[in-house]
Structure 1
Amino acid sequence: MSAKTAKEAAPVNITVQINKPITAVPPAMWGIFFEDINFAADGGLYAELVKNRSFEFNAPMMGWKEVKQDSATGHILIVNRATENSANPRYAQLSVNAAQGAYGLSNEGFRGMGIHKGEQYNFSIWANGRDAANLKAKVVLLNNSGKQIGEAALDQFSNNGWQQYNVSFTAADTAVKGRLQLLFTGKGEIDLDMISLFPAHTWKDRPGGLRADLAQKLADLKPGFIRFPGGCIVEGRELASRYQWKRTVGKPEDRTLIINRWNTEFAHRAAPDYFQSFGLGFFEYFQLAEDMGAAPLPILNCGMACQFNSSEVAAMNELDPYVQDALDLIEFANGSVNTKWGGLRAAMGHPAPFHLSMMGVGNEQWDEQYIQRYKVFEQAIHAKYPDIKLVSSAGPFSKGPMFDYLWKELKTSQAGFIDEHYYMPPEWFLANAGRYDHYDRTQGPKIFAGEYAAHTKEGKEAESRNTWGSALAEAAFMTGLERNADVVQMASYAPLLAHVEAWQWRPDLIWFDNLRSAGTPNYYVQQLFSVNKGTQVVPVLHNGAALAGTDSLYASATIDGPAKKLLLKIVNASGRPVQLAITLQGGAATGEAPVNQLLTAATADFNTLDAPQQVKPTTQPLTATGNKLAFTAAPASLNVVTVPYR
């Protein structure tokens, strides 16, 4: 054996000081960031299957087609009643002459409708029978090839004003790209609005709720917080298209649809049918966070539109409505049922408070105009709600003049967190695993690593940018976040969800189509850190120093105090196996066998909807003797080693 080979084969000695806790692991350390991009809400997490259900898109009939069968005739008129109903002004007025055949509408859904065989689907519609005594309707579900796979009848409509009608049926077959028909027979006139189709099986089986498989994937991450609704969606391209939470609560039919800013953001990925119905609104976000035991983190517009687009700002003397929105949101989340906004929360079915404890002011704004506006928010919010922690912005970049200016100004503010973002190549994440080892701990806000992802080269498949190599680099970086949990107290990958046929941005954590969803390698990295969070950070040392890239090794560790378990994360970013000799200082392994949750693959591998388990964790039993543990870290691997100790 050559001296070189012997040296390569020598084990790397690592000491874990389980008796010297550094800091507590924040309960909200690992969370999720939701933004309505890539059809993440309508056409994604929000389980509504009908696109443009209230005819409010810029082109009112987008998603709809007229249907004439046999000799039936009729016509459709889109009526605007803006004065009467400004939130939902449009409806379709149908004149039907169908003694033979049928006349009506067909809806294409969001890149089709995903239908599962044997499942129940609930159809609803608001209708005003103008002359509908002789009209009967049939709801028909068609599969990809136009074959009928579901049907239900609506046999009677009232001429006494707007009423909601409901009917359910069971799908006889599965369809990836189904479509819906609403067909009328007889002769008469009827007004239609809020034409809706939901699966009965939603997350928590809530009527009009969330797509169950996507919500479950979020729950399986065990997030400590949910940040919503963005992201750039908060800012809008201009202030008129910003996210306004008050328009997203109350009855679904009273919420005001707007264009999604990602509709035209990227010319090469334009989505002219991308709008926000707000069926998934602030109430539903709070409810989802509560369901998952996560802290809610709403982000509000601070009177600034996207600085990469219009750079429009609200005048300082006209900022009050924006600030009032923030104050009213705290009342909506936490206020008594006897208050205006707490009363609305109760009327929506949740009299108990949502226990909001933090809020973001702006997204990734920068420069003096942001600091001016942030300070107004900070003063007003803390004057009324001093316990609310505020998240402020470090801008869109991880360093540079903008970043330095914001930190200088915010360091002496009352902000609870500064939100840092990093969309960088994998090499950056490997090189910056020690980024926070030397951050100033004497004063100032904590760090929220609010948006990050390792960006590799583009590939043909939608999912191709989510390689194991990118996820491995993120895992190395995350050991540095965990090691510095006294400074970095929240972190979330971004973006979260993407439809394989309707994406604007990649990489993304979870990919889906109308029926299926797949976690990426990046998803499993996030999950392994989150479910193995622990309660206290402990030192991991090699030659007396933290492992932050030495010999391509990266490490962090926590203990779960109540369970008496060590949770050791080790990343081997090299292309060779590495022998590890681990010593537990201040404790010894019990008789219960330690395990390694191993995630490894070729760095170019990625998961797809057709091959969703190409990169997925496996469990590997290990053996410990006293305070010693040895194993070999596979090439390009994340190892999460659990060691019960005494």
Structure 2
Amino acid sequence: MSPTLYEIFTEEISHAFDGGIYAELIQNRSFEEGVLPSVMKLIKKPDSGLKMELVSLSDGVPTNKWDMPWPWNMNCGWDTNRVLVGWSLQGGGEMNLTEANPMNVASLRSLKLKVLGQARLVNSGYWGINAQTGPPSALKFYLRSGSYRGKLTVSLESKDGKVLADHDFGAVKPGTAWKAFTATLNASGTDPKARFVLTFRGEGVLQVDWVSLFPPTCKNRPNGLRSDLAKWLENYKPSFVRYPVGCYVKGLSWQSAPDWRKMVCPPEERPDMWGYWKYRSTDGFGYHEFLEFCENIGANATNALAFNGAEPHVELRRDITCQRRFSGAALLLNNRVVMATFRTVSVGGEKTLRQLVSHDEYLFTMRKERKVSLRDRQSQMT
């Protein structure tokens, strides 16, 4: 059997990335969970609930066929309670989401917090935050202090309320600019159900955004992966890793599908994506982190390209779809795809779909004899 036949298939499903191999401990870190995908609208279901539907469909695409063949209501339901998933407020204050004064174009919403004396902003993580003794965790978050004047501390607390780690930022003065706050938290005990707390003591209104807490990662990579899970996958010794694939890669429509160009920038500048599996992905485990992971375990990095469009003009899309589904932009003709690894060095020009499929040797020049470094791969993506 060829040694190149053994692979790892990666998909963001059931929190395999966020809350899984991606080491981020804070859930809904940028408060974007409740943002409706731009190409979607909300309509009422017969049971009075809400579901998402494409704003518009291409000619010839039935309204009930744009999605997967199985019952599409299952994955397009809209839960209004997910807007602040992971977050809660204790003490004197009020919180709500705001689109005023966005931190950047990728994070259009932030949390507006009105502090009345003392307010504790709590994040429960993904089924709890796994606090561990040993090397410290790296904390980073952003504040626009607004009219707030008072003290700020952060802490890791056990399920029963014991403080495992804390840091005092001292006094926070009013201001209109977004400011990054960083610290390291070294837990004095372990608890898989710990929580993260921002405590404000003072008065005023401020905004919070992009709260991130990372334990030590695989190879100490910034914005990296969990060491234990990465090592577990490495032990399989795959010859190549595919990313991103499965239903995740197509999003709810072509317009909302993953875009590698938005996954190689700093994580604060990644716009997130509402995935197919009923939650929003941070895309923190993006193309850059994927390539680093492949280098770490000595595997080839493999991407997939799909063709989406109608003859005679074909639009070269970013990734591979599944289940031969309709899309909001056009039909995926015959579900025919061309696979390419990140060793790809050229892509052909405009051709018809028939020409592209029958002459894929003109599409991709594979450098099978030369090992391409991460730097080379990154330069090819820009």
Q: One fold, TM greater than 0.5?
A: yes
Distance 1:82 1:191, change over 3 A: closer
Shift of residue 190, structure 1, vs aligned partner: 2.1
Matches within 5 A, 1:32-181: 32-58=8-34, 59-68=82-91, 73-81=92-100, 85-98=104-117, 102-132=118-148, 134-157=149-172, 159=175, 161-181=177-197
In structure 2, the residue matched to 1:239 is 254
In structure 2, the residue matched to 1:29 is 5
Q: Which amino acid aligns with 2:25?
A: L
Q: Which protein is bigger by CA-based radius of gyration?
A: 1
Q: Which amino acid aligns with 1:78?
A: L
| Secondary structure in 1 matching 2:219 | helix
Which of these residues, 232, 249, 252, is aligned with residue 264 of structure 2?
249
- What is the CA deviation profile of residues 549-568 of structure 1, one whole-angstrom value per residue up to 9, with x for unaligned ones? xxxxxxxxxxxxxxxxxxxx
Distance 1:383 1:85, change over 3 A: closer
**In structure 2, distance between residues paired with 1:248 and 1:191:** 25
Distance 1:81 1:96, change over 3 A: closer
Matches within 5 A, 1:355-504: 361-363=320-322, 365=324, 370-371=332-333, 374=336, 384-385=346-347, 413-414=358-359
Is this contact kept in 2: 1:241–1:261, CA < 8 A?
no
Shift of residue 383, structure 1, vs aligned partner: 11
**In structure 1, distance between residues paired with 2:250 and 2:180:** 35
**In structure 1, distance between residues paired with 2:345 and 2:189:** 58
Q: Which amino acid aligns with 2:108?
A: P
In structure 2, the residue matched to 1:498 is none
Distance 1:316 1:87, change over 3 A: farther
**In structure 2, distance between residues paired with 1:154 and 1:198:** 19
In structure 1, the residue matched to 2:296 is 291
**In structure 2, distance between residues paired with 1:165 and 1:131:** 18
Shift of residue 192, structure 1, vs aligned partner: 0.9
Is this contact kept in 2: 1:121–1:197, CA < 8 A?
yes
Distance 1:247 1:66, change over 3 A: same
Shift of residue 235, structure 1, vs aligned partner: 2.1
Shift of residue 215, structure 1, vs aligned partner: 0.6
Q: Which amino acid aligns with 2:85?
A: M
Is this contact kept in 2: 1:236–1:243, CA < 8 A?
yes
Q: Which amino acid aligns with 1:118?
A: G
Is this contact kept in 2: 1:316–1:373, CA < 8 A?
no
Which of these residues, 201, 204, 229, is aligned with residue 185 of structure 1?
201
Shift of residue 197, structure 1, vs aligned partner: 1.0
- What is the CA deviation profile of residues 529-557 of structure 1, one whole-angstrom value per residue up to 9, with x for unaligned ones? xxxxxxxxxxxxxxxxxxxxxxxxxxxxx
Matches within 5 A, 1:495-574: none
In structure 2, the residue matched to 1:215 is 230
**In structure 1, distance between residues paired with 2:289 and 2:345:** 28
**In structure 2, distance between residues paired with 1:198 and 1:362:** 32
Pick the structure with more helix per residue: 1
Q: Which amino acid aligns with 2:163?
A: Q
Is this contact kept in 2: 1:301–1:363, CA < 8 A?
no
**In structure 2, distance between residues paired with 1:383 and 1:279:** 26
In structure 2, the residue matched to 1:281 is 286
**Relative contact order (C-alpha < 8 Å, sep 6+): which is higher?**
2
| Secondary structure in 2 matching 1:234 | helix
| Secondary structure in 2 matching 1:215 | helix
Q: TM-score, normalised by structure 1?
A: 0.43
Distance 1:167 1:377, change over 3 A: closer
In structure 1, the residue matched to 2:210 is 194
Gapped regions of structure 1 (runs ≥ 5)? 1-24, 264-273, 304-313, 327-359, 387-408, 417-646
Distance 1:174 1:240, change over 3 A: same
Task: Tell me the C-alpha RMSD between the 2 structures.
Answer: 3.3
- What is the CA deviation profile of residues 262-305 of structure 1, one whole-angstrom value per residue up to 9, with x for unaligned ones? 22xxxxxxxxxx320111111111111122221111134543xx
The alignment covers a number of residue pairs equal to 302
Distance 1:145 1:160, change over 3 A: same
**In structure 2, distance between residues paired with 1:128 and 1:83:** 10
**In structure 2, distance between residues paired with 1:299 and 1:256:** 22
**In structure 2, distance between residues paired with 1:96 and 1:233:** 39
Distance 1:252 1:366, change over 3 A: closer
Shift of residue 372, structure 1, vs aligned partner: 6.5
**In structure 2, distance between residues paired with 1:383 and 1:175:** 48
**In structure 1, distance between residues paired with 2:313 and 2:194:** 48
Distance 1:301 1:195, change over 3 A: farther
| Secondary structure in 1 matching 2:277 | helix
| Secondary structure in 2 matching 1:43 | coil
Distance 1:377 1:140, change over 3 A: closer
Distance 1:228 1:376, change over 3 A: closer
Is this contact kept in 1: 2:251–2:274, CA < 8 A?
no
| Secondary structure in 1 matching 2:88 | strand
Shift of residue 128, structure 1, vs aligned partner: 1.4
Is this contact kept in 1: 2:158–2:193, CA < 8 A?
yes
Q: TM-score, normalised by structure 2?
A: 0.70
Distance 1:376 1:211, change over 3 A: closer
Q: Percent identity?
A: 29
